[in-house]
Amino acid sequence: MRVQVRCAGSLLVALLAIAPAAWGAVVRSPDGRIAVTVDVDKDGIPQYSASYRGVEIMPAGKLGLRFQSQPAMDAGFRVAGTATASHDATWEQPWGERRFVRDHHQELRVDFESTTDVARRFSLRLRVFDDGFGFRYEVPAQPGYDGAVNITDEVTEFRLDDQPATTAWWIPGRRWNRYEYLYNTTPLAEIQMAHTPMTVRLPSGVHLSFHEAALVDYTAYVLDQRRPGIFRTSLTPWSDGIRVKTRTPFKTPWRTVQVAPNAAALLNSSLILNLNEPNVLGDVSWVVPGKYVGIWWAMHINQATWSTGPRHGATTEAAKHYIDFAAQHGFAGVLVEGWNVGWDGDWFFNGKQFRFTESNPDFDLKAVTDYARSKGVRLVGHHETAADVGNYEPQMAAAFDLYESVGVRQVKTGYVADAGDIRRLDEHGVELREWHDGQFTIDHHLRVLREAARRRISINTHEPVKDTGLRRTYPNWLTREGARGQEYNAWGKPVNPPEHVAILPYTRLLSGPMDYTPGIVDLDGYDPKHRVPHTLAKELSLYVVLYSPVQMAADLPENYLKRPDALQFIKDVAVDWDESIALAGEVGDYVAIARKQRGAPDWFVGALTDENPRSLALPLGFLEPGRRYIAEIYRDGPQADWQTRPYDLVVEQRLVTAADTLELRLASSGGAAIRLRPAP
Ligand code: NOJ
Ligand code: CA
């Protein structure tokens, strides 16, 4: 009886008749390993559960939405129908960690219909891939829900068994420092609110990562552990308390769960990109990956200032010095921070004073960009807003016009402020404060991207909203920050510990590229508390491990000139890839990744470890069979140790083939960076 009540589709009735034990609508990944079941419970609450290789990994979690002025869609439903589809296609990225991405999934749409007196309906669209699954709500226009609707809550649950042997890697959600926290490694019980991606290892060794894809026209969520093992989507609110302001029909972003048999496999997932819409910008040949240097680290180590005065960093003269260095060593861009009016005084709390088209007296934008052009280098622009979007947006068009007119192709934006302190002006001119991951700011980022795209400019966002794969739809969104980056090694209290970059690949980087700004070669010397907690070889490995299509060579030119050996790798390493393969790793312990340079036969390998030294044996089976390669290896020397001998770097060459295994010894907080180029 129950089967007939729930299932309108005759095909499904037939299937269930064959397999009477089946419960709800089930969809499996193409390889059959992941199965997701969708149904309603006895109260008509929509719910889903997931299994991997026949073992339940996520018990039934609830689904639903609540509204300000309409009846909630969270209980009193039946399954009115289902539809399935399968999809297998390969698409090409204009730039990326791999050129071709296979989107192979099975889809299930489940239509829910009210069983109460109140007519309500919505659908859940679920896609199951070999590397995980995603689902979204689709709410059609319907009587009672016409036009504008305000969402006050989403009650999606991600359920896990709260076992002490389950480990989570997470940063706290909705706290003042946005995503810039050290990762916690704890049992589930210690989590209250966590940002996504949040990654867990189940006692079986299966790894899961929870996140979302295609975050547009909606607000972000943090995971709120309401009861042991039950994480609910807590939507980031607007300043008036509403979570999402939308209109029917609407779709939510995809709620995603990446599933992998081990930690390294998690890194090979393309789930987030596959759940985003294709490029809407058309020809994006003007979006160009590359490396840059800049007037940046000098301010972070307090050798120069953003504000004007005797130590002002952004002078015409200093910019020309960096341009000379970039031209001589093949860096495409020079970032200059602090050239425009607004950095004086307490700018952190006074974003209103920023003028995005007015130079300080000691900086001549035209002279600098003319000089850069004559040397084949481009200025990388900067828009620090101090989160005063109300001040920035009216200036934005003119600011991008100016950069376009002087040949700038990339702009770094910044939203420095405590979380929740994004300033905007409402229609009456009243100043309101919004979250960095709230719907207002999410919309703002798209306005920036479109404004920039019209002028063929690409964006690198700092203090951003988390990445959800929108680079597929807007390929001019090159990279962003959104975690503790290198700057914390200059002034963080404390600096990033050695394990930090052994956690980032498995958490923050699962969401997309990060402008971490690697490549510090003068690892100490600012003050005893602030040094880079890596060996030099590990610092080089970051160029391969932490994917970003634009990578900074973050140190001062004079420091690079003292380390020509390390500089050589930074000059050689690619930033755009045909393929990326995670070779080995454990979250928080170590990672090894191989990447093939886009349009060239060279491969690069990056490997790094936390504070524990370790040996790795990396089979080179990814190389072209039968071809001989010269491996240029930058590795920790015999004495290397991040605390006592961080500069002990050995550079050596070996002849290798795909049949070889590379034995690497990584020091305490050490690493290895390798270029493999075909032997002549
Ligand atoms: C924070 C950014 O992460 C950093 O890169 C930048 O230098 C400062 N804000 C100033 O804009
Ligand atoms: Ca920052």
Question: For 82-122, what is each residue's pLDDT tens digit?
Answer: 999 999 999 999 999 999 999 999 999 999 999 999 999 99
Task: Measure 158 CA to ligand 1 centroid, in angstroms.
Answer: 34
**Mean pLDDT of the region 211-228:** 98
**Mean pLDDT of the region 134-143:** 98
The reported pLDDT for the residue numbered 7 is 34
The reported pLDDT for the residue numbered 5 is 29
**Mean pLDDT of the region 262-266:** 98
**18 or 290, which is more confident:** 290
Task: Measure 500 CA to ligand 1 centroid, in angstroms.
Answer: 19
Residue 265 CB less than 6 A away from ligand 1: no
Q: Rounded CA gap, 414 and 425, in Å?
A: 19
The reported pLDDT for the residue numbered 23 is 63
Q: Could you tell me the pLDDT band of residue 3, with boundaries at 50, 70 and 90?
A: very low
**Is 487 assigned a catalytic role?**
yes
**Mean pLDDT of the region 449-460:** 98
The one catalytic residue in 434, 463, 487, 632 is 487
Compute and round to an integer the Cα radius of gyration of the chain. 26
The reported pLDDT for the residue numbered 527 is 81
Position 348 pLDDT exceeds 70: yes
Task: Measure 310 CA to ligand 1 centroid, in angstroms.
Answer: 21
Which has the closest alpha carbon to 222: 263, 255, 176, 173? 173
Q: Could you tell me the pLDDT band of residue 525, with boundaries at 50, 70 and 90?
A: low
Give the position, in ligand 1's atom list, of the atom nearest the Cα of 481.
3
Position 11 pLDDT exceeds 80: no
The predicted model scores a pTM of 0.96
| 447-451: long-range contacts, CB 8 A cutoff, minimum separation 24 | 447/393, 447/396, 448/396, 448/413, 449/474, 449/476, 449/477, 450/474, 451/396, 451/397, 451/400
The reported pLDDT for the residue numbered 519 is 98
The reported pLDDT for the residue numbered 219 is 99
Give the position, in ligand 1's atom list, of the atom nearest the Cα of 463.
3
The reported pLDDT for the residue numbered 529 is 83
The reported pLDDT for the residue numbered 1 is 26
The reported pLDDT for the residue numbered 12 is 38
Q: How many CA atoms lie within 13 A of 658 on its CB side?
A: 7
Per-residue pLDDT reduced to its tens digit, 197-206: 999 999 999 9
Task: Measure 446 CA to ligand 2 centroid, in angstroms.
Answer: 20
Per-residue pLDDT reduced to its tens digit, 617-649: 999 999 999 999 999 999 999 999 999 999 999
The reported pLDDT for the residue numbered 20 is 34
**Mean pLDDT of the region 169-190:** 98
Which has the closest alpha carbon to 332: 557, 539, 96, 550? 550
DSSP per-residue string spanning 31-57: TS-EEEEEEE-TT--EEEEEEETTEEE
- Give nearest CA residue, ligand 1 atom 11: 384
Residue 384 CB less than 6 A away from ligand 1: yes
Q: Rounded CA gap, 121 and 281, in Å?
A: 34
Q: Could you tell me the pLDDT band of residue 433, with boundaries at 50, 70 and 90?
A: very high
Residue 95 CB less than 6 A away from ligand 1: no
Give the position, in ligand 1's atom list, of the atom nearest the Cα of 296.
7
The reported pLDDT for the residue numbered 338 is 98
Tokens of 543: 């160029």
At residue 568, φ and ψ (nearest 5 deg) are -60, -45
Name every residue whose Cβ is closer than 8 Å to that of residue 644 and which is 6 or more positions away in sequence: none
Position 16 pLDDT exceeds 50: no
DSSP per-residue string spanning 384-403: E-TTBHHHHHHHHHHHHHHH
Position 4 pLDDT exceeds 50: no
The reported pLDDT for the residue numbered 15 is 39
- Across all residues in the chain, what is the average pLDDT? 96
